[in-house]
Each structure stands twice: as C-alpha cells, then as structure tokens.
Amino acid sequence: MSREVIAIIDFGSQYGQLIARRVREHKVYSQLYQPTVKIEKLAQLGVKGIILSGGPASVYADNAPSCDPRIFELGVPVLGICYGMQIGSKILGADIKPAESREYGRTSLDISDHSDLFKGLPDHTSVWMSHGDQVNELTDDFASLAATPTCPFAAVRHKSGRFFGVQFHPEVTHTPRGADILKNFLYDVCGCAGDWQMSDFVEETVTNVRQQVGDATVICGLSGGVDSAVTAALLHKAIGDQLVCIFVDNGLLRKNERAGVESMFGGHFHIDLHTVDWGKQFLSKLAGVTDPQKKRKIIGAEFIEAFKSEADQIKNAKFLAQGTLYPDVIESGNKDGNLAANIKLHHNVGGLPEELGFELVEPLRDLFKDEVRLVGEYLGLPEEMVWRHPFPGPGLAVRILSDITEPKLAILREADDILIEEITAAGLYRQISQALAVLLPVGTVGVMGDERSYEHVIALRCVETTDFMTADFSHIPHEVLGRIASRIINEVRGVNRVVYDISSKPPATIEWE
C-alpha cells in the first residue's frame, strides 16, 4: 500500500518519538531513523518530508551526531527542531555558537513572517525552549522568521524553501500553537494529504506479525494491563490459535488482579491462558531489598525464571510477545543505537536473555499510551480494559518505598483499591491518566480512638497527561480527596495519615521509584 511518509531523523532527543506521534495525530505516517540513515533509503521510501529532531549534544562537540548532508538534495522539505535546526543550518553555511543566555522553559516568540510555517499564527505566542547553542549568524541564503528576547534567529527559512529551522520545541504541549506549526509544515510545505489512520497501523502490524512468526507459536506475557491486553488482541487477530498467553502471579499485584485476568482472557476471550503462581519466589528474592533499581532487576530476573518454567512446556514456541511502548524504550535509553540518556530500567525492554531462544515480537513498540488505546478500541476491546490506568511491570514493589513484606503489600492493596473506587464513583477515572497509592517508609504519630498511634503514611498520586513523557497533577476536588483519605485511614489497618503528591513531570516522575 502506497502511503505518505515523514522521516524523522532522531539525534537522541527525549522528544524524538513525540514528534513522530504529533505527525501521526495529523494523519500523516511517520517513522524514526538514526542519523546514519542513507539518502538512498529515504529516496526509496519516497518521503514527503524530513524532520531533524533535537538532541543533547552540541554541534561542535567531539563525535556530535550529524546526518547525510545529501538530504537537502532529495528535493523535499526539511524541518530542523532545536539541535536539528542547528545541524541543518550549519550544513547549509550558517554560524552556530553557544548562546550568551541559555534558554530553558517557556518564552515569548515574536513572529515576523506569517507565510508557510507560521501561517494563521498571531504576532506573539509562547514556545518551549531548551538549548545552549543557537544560530549566531545567517548567510544571505537564509531569512529570519521569528525571534525571542535572547534568540534573534528562533526560526529561519533557507531561500530554497526546502529547509526550515525552529530553535524551540513545537512538539511539546508547552508550546500552545506547536500543533499548528507542525500542521503547516506537513500540509502547506510538504503537501501531505493526511490519509493515514490507526486502522492502517493495525492491518500493517497484522501482516508483519504473520510474516515474522510463520506457523510458530507465540507466547505473550500477559499482565492484564492495557498494553499487554492490546498486544494479545492484535496477535490473536493475526495468528489466532498460535497465540499462548502466560500470566505470572508475582505476589505484587493489585487487589483481585489474578481473578480478573483469568476471567477476562481465559473465560471471555477464550485465549489459551496459563497462570504461573510464583509469588513466594518473588518475595523471597526481594526480602530486605530497598534500592528501587535492584528491585527492578530482581523482579525482571525472577519473572524470566517464572516465565521460562511454563514456556518450556509449550511446544513450537519460538517467539515472545511483549507490550513494550515507546516511553519504555526511550526512558531505558541506549537501545538499538538510541542516543537518549538512560532514565530508568524496564524489565520488558531488552530483558529477555538470548539463551531462552525466543525472538521478540513487540507490535506496540512505536506507540504512545493514547495510541495504544485507539488500537484497543479499533479491535473492539471492552471500554474498562482499554481505558484502564497503567500499572508498572514490577507491580506494587516500586510503590513500597522500603523492603517488601506481605503486611505492607496488604496495606497498599487496600489503599489502592479505595483510591480507584472513589475516583471512579466521582466520575474522575477517565479524566485522570494514572492514579496510584504509595506506601512511604516513615511512620507518623496519630490518634486512633483514645490512643496514640505510630503508623504508616500513604501518598496518593494522580496525574493527567496525553503522552506520559510530561504530566501534571490532577486537581481533584477537596471533598473527594477527603473522602479517599477518610476511608483509607478508617478501613486500612496500619495507616494513620494520607498525603497528596502535587509534583509535575518533569522534574518528578509519575511513579515514585
């Protein structure tokens, strides 16, 4: 099937895939490529345009990533964002130097040219900056389109009309008119028709999976969350009875999680589901461990052992499917040539030892959470499953900020269950992107009845986001928070205080560990 393609050359930006996602929101297919991609490959794809992403490097640093300078010979428009603007401008002859005043955060953009890229935008708008270098001097081949108080060339156009550069980040939500800028580039500059849909992704993925696995059996690590559920549904559509799902009960699950998974997938969808009861082994290995990264590594290693114990019994199993999403990949860093910095470990990203003999199938690897939900809706999954909040692979272990014990897990399960019940009853569940309870490693003095108590503290964390790369805390009505706190303190033995986390991401993360 012939389709329009926007190639995104990723220089290691934390927002690289976010750019791809924003392009797809405008119904134009996009794909990320490493800076080493050759012009011949892009020409073969018949790309409609190219976007050069931002990145953490300086264009003058040793081993600074660059791209094939012949991309400007393809005859298609190129948009450089932040580092991408700098490297593109440098290739075309402009001078790049460290900025006298580094810009980070929201700033005001004054637009001087409202044709093409800034069509329909006001003279002044807010943009999100994050840079140390900037264009210092333009040649006569360039025209300045916009400026900020400290960046005279915040947006430029080459006289050929084939290169545009913006020093700010139009892909992030902190740039309010960023979507309009990208849309102008895609439609007015590149001439895209915008006919790509999520159904295209599903059909292409089904075809690719069938080609990849042939007649072999595929094992899917099922957790009951949105990602693994959509993965299982996609695979079931592609290969039917060749799919076998394994659910590992690691003892770190939410309340009634196992029963729900078995009822939904084994009973309702009639998928071949194998449950592995491995909770005692997980808790034994985690005994006394408090470091969050060690917890993740232990859980990842033990998960493989549990999984292998069941997978070894399944005939003709050659592939393992995982619900890995792009935020998992980009935040793990340094995978498959990824230039982005490592933020955290995920046991489902590259965590499968080669000695197990499985080849990975990761059909959702290039998607964000909201895109996964669209796939789930297209496949006809139940609403309560498609819109379920994310739950980390290590489970409640990374929501207990101390060593893991059965009594602590029991406390956190009940608190978490009350939180979800109350935000659902208040009609807030769909508005909130992720809600969780955290058991803090401190005790506080309280009064329970006529006696002093010294018991646990529960922190509540509710955030709203579209991409899970950035997030703001949810403004839950005080009466709802009060009801949640009252129920937890009164119904969960061992808790005498509840607090609410009002941090944003960044600088905080969504999970506490």
In sequence order, which residues have a C-beta less than 8 Å from that of residue 368 and are 6 or more positions away?
A: 17, 18, 21, 325, 326, 327, 466, 467, 468
DSSP state of 186: I
Which of 467, 510, 511, 399 lies closest to 22, judged by CA? 467
pLDDT of residue 94: 81
pLDDT of residue 102: 59
Alpha-carbon 169 to chain mean position: 18
- Cβ-contact 349, 329 below 8 angstroms: yes
Does 245 participate in catalysis according to the annotation?
no
Spot the catalytic one: 4, 67, 82, 456: 82
Does 40 participate in catalysis according to the annotation?
no
Spot the catalytic one: 169, 236, 389, 456: 169
Spot the catalytic one: 67, 103, 151, 171: 171
Does 169 participate in catalysis according to the annotation?
yes
pLDDT of residue 110: 96
DSSP state of 62: T
pLDDT of residue 343: 35
Ordered strands of the 359-361 beta sheet: 272-277, 243-249, 217-221, 317-321, 359-361
DSSP state of 400: B
Q: Where are the beta strands (DSSP E) in 238-341?
A: 243-249, 272-277, 317-321
pLDDT beneath 70: ranges in the chain: 1-2, 97-103, 131-133, 268, 326-356, 447-453
pLDDT of residue 139: 83
